[in-house]
């Protein structure tokens, strides 16, 4: 029993160490396609200059085996744990932490994590409550899915929450998203993915917005009403003219993803979490026997 647990802990650690570096170097195909499509439609001179440089950069990162962006982010993981997976989440967390640390030291990667008051660096991208791990538990299953989303600060600093009131309705939601993205301007490295969380509670709306940015470009919310709102916001945001890197142009966002939850009858929370054009993410599946399968585009 303990042998299995030790091996599995090592497997999760290996998965995390690989995912963190891989996500930083090799951005997913859906994103590459979206960036190429953006370059195909952008008409402004500065916008084209930015998008061509982005496309060149993605290729250079591949050729040089270098990071796409220097910001190695704050390590965020999404875990889906099967009820039969033979390693307890407490141990999974420990493995993710060690894996993050190993990737940072071995590569080496820039260490970003600091104490929030003293601002002193806490070590190799780990610290108190870092990495940040979100959990989902799946019945009748014995696997583990891990998605690593290193989140850059330029885009994370452009996060916004508003407790709209029910009378603000859907119009209030739309206005807040528009206001947020126009206000963010070039700071979050547009064109990127706009994550919107609606419903739930204040904290849960932001959690949903973050979950939304981790979805592949081109995916839609399964609820047709919500999916329609994604499409409408995408069109409206691309009317604003903020453009690539906020220098003006046609393409302001690549995609709008909304996640929702039911809410209290007097609540109408809306949260915005931005993901830059270098929307890093990489996934792995760890089987109960410790076999790891990596999947870039999940």
Partner 1 sequence: MATHEVTFPVTDPAEIMKLRAGDEVIVQGHIIGIRDRTQIRIFDQGVEPPMDLTGAFLLHTAPNVRKIGPGRYEKMCIGTTTSARMVRFTEPLGEQYSVRAICGKGGFPDEAIEPMQRLGMVYFAIVGGAAALETTQIEEIEEVAWEELMPECLWKFRVKDFGPLTVGIDAHGNSLYRDVQDRARQKLEDIYARLS
Contact positions vs partner 1 (CB under 8 A) = 45-46, 49-50, 53-54, 56-58, 60-61, 64, 66-72, 107-111, 119, 121, 152-154, 157, 171, 174-175, 178-179, 182, 185-189, 236, 239-243, 245-248, 276-278
Nearer to partner 1, 187 or 220 (CB): 187
Nearer to partner 1, 51 or 81 (CB): 51
Three-state DSSP state, 272:
strand
Q: How far is the CB of 75 from partner 1 (least distance, A)?
A: 15
> With left for phi above 0 and alpha for psi between -120 and 50, is residue 140 left, alpha or beta?
left
CA angle 110, 150, 296 (to 5 degrees): 120
Q: Considering only CA atoms, which of 223, 217, 213, 214 is closest in space to residue 261?
A: 223
Three-state DSSP state, 75:
coil
Contact 203, 144 (CB under 8 A): no
Contact 150, 72 (CB under 8 A): yes
Q: How far is the CB of 235 from partner 1 (least distance, A)?
A: 10
Give dist(CA 110, CA 125) in Å, integer.
8
Which residues touch 148 (CB under 8 Å, ≥6 apart)?
Answer: 16, 19, 20, 22, 23, 75, 76, 77, 281, 282, 283
Nearer to partner 1, 84 or 108 (CB): 108
Q: How far is the CB of 67 from partner 1 (least distance, A)?
A: 4
Nearer to partner 1, 195 or 246 (CB): 246
Give dist(CA 238, CA 13) in Å, integer.
41
Q: How far is the CB of 188 from partner 1 (least distance, A)?
A: 8
Which residues touch 6 (CB under 8 Å, ≥6 apart)?
Answer: none
- The total number of residues shown for the chain amounts to 298
Nearer to partner 1, 105 or 226 (CB): 105
Q: How far is the CB of 3 from partner 1 (least distance, A)?
A: 37
Nearer to partner 1, 8 or 68 (CB): 68
Nearer to partner 1, 4 or 165 (CB): 165
CB half-sphere exposure, 150, CA atoms < 13 A: 32
């Amino acid at each position: 029993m303990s042998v299995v647990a030790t091996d599995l802990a090592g497997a999760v650690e290996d998965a995390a160490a690989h995912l963190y570096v891989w996500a930083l170097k090799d951005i997913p195909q859906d994103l590459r396609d979206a960036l190429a499509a953006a370059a195909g439609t952008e008409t402004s001179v500065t916008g084209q200059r930015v998008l061509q440089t982005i496309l060149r950069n993605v290729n250079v990162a591949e050729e040089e085996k270098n990071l796409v962006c220097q910001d190695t982010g704050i390590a965020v993981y999404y875990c889906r744990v099967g009820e039969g997976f033979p390693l307890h989440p407490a141990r999974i967390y420990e493995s993710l932490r060690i894996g993050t640390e190993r990737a940072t030291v071995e590569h080496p990667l820039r260490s970003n994590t600091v104490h929030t008051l003293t601002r002193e660096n806490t070590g190799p991208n780990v610290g108190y409550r870092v990495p940040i791990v979100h959990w989902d538990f799946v019945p009748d299953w014995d696997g583990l899915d891990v998605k690593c989303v290193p989140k850059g600060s330029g885009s994370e600093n452009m996060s916004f929450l508003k407790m709209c009131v029910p009378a603000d309705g859907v119009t209030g939601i739309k206005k807040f998203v528009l206001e947020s993205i126009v206000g963010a301007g070039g700071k979050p490295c547009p064109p990127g993915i706009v994550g919107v969380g609606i419903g739930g509670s204040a904290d849960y709306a932001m959690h949903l917005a973050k979950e939304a940015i981790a979805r592949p470009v081109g995916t839609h919310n399964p609820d047709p009403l919500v999916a329609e709102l994604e499409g409408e916001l995408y069109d409206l945001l691309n009317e604003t003219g903020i453009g690539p890197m906020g220098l003006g142009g046609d393409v302001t966002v690549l995609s709008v993803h909304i996640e929702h939850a039911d809410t209290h009858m007097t609540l109408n929370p809306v949260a915005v979490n931005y993901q830059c054009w270098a929307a890093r993410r990489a996934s792995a599946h760890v089987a109960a026997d410790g076999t790891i399968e990596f999947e870039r585009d999940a």
